[in-house]
Amino acid sequence: AQKITQTQPGMFVQEKEAVTLDCTYDTSDQSYGLFWYKQPSSGEMIFLIYQGSYDEQNATEGRYSLNFQKARKSANLVISASQLGDSAMYFCAMREDILTGGGNKLTFGTGTQLKVEL
Amino acid sequence: DGGITQSPKYLFRKEGQNVTLSCEQNLNHDAMYWYRQDPGQGLRLIYYSQIVNDFQKGDIAEGYSVSREKKESFPLTVTSAQKNPTAFYLCASSKDRALILPQHFGDGTRLSIL
């Protein structure tokens, strides 16, 4: 089974609108972390936001927020007030429990290509 | 400014040839990682190192080798045993070995077969 699933290969959103990028994960660990990265066409990976499994509040960073639903094993990224510069590939990634040997690496999903339109 | 430098940006390999991708960081990070990215796919871990003179295989280590002789440097060699090396290679580092803190990435190297 895929550890990280991003079911939306591509998404379109109009400028200034909000958009939600889906991410579901699969782990039996109690302690884990979820990351979102942005990859523009130039290729570099830009860290956006992090959510720990024990964090009670949903993470927020500026226009980015993470809708963390632990029981559903989902960690959707919400981008508010989309801008043209948000057009990029977005990756969800998971770090599992270090005590079970998974804590020192990330597993990435296949990504969602977001296109922001005027 | 602190960061991760990957070189070269583009690299071409002939059949049967080994090539080495450079990754240097001045962030004083202990942990370093190499990922491979194929079109339409996410990143897959090749090798990682959490301390100098130590490294572990990731999910797709076959046909690759690494060294970690200095904290700042983590070069990746793509050997002739890697039959499909064409991909985008990303190097990353992390201050935190347990990955509570995010990884920082370089700008990548695009490797192609001649």
User: Which chain B residues are within 8 Å of A103, Cβ to Cβ?
Assistant: 98-99
Q: Confirm if A78 and A62 have CB atoms less than 8 A apart.
A: no
A103:B44 CB<8 A? no
Q: Sign (positive/negative) of CA torsion B97, A3, A111, A64?
A: negative
Within an 8 Å CB–CB cutoff, is residue B102 touching chain A? yes
pLDDT score at A102: 57
pLDDT score at B99: 67
A35:B102 CB<8 A? yes
Mean pLDDT, rounded, for A46-58: 93
- Supply A26's token pair: 């699969």
Q: Is the peptide bond before B8 cis (omega within 30 degrees of 0)?
A: yes
A33:B100 CB<8 A? yes
Helix, coil or strand: residue B14:
coil
Q: Nearest residue on chain B to A43, judged by CA atoms?
A: B107
Q: Is residue A100 predicted with pLDDT exceeding 70?
A: no
- Which of A44, A95, A105 faces B48 most closely, judged by CB atoms? A105
Look at A57-66, A90-99, B49-58 and tell me which has the smallest mean pLDDT: A90-99
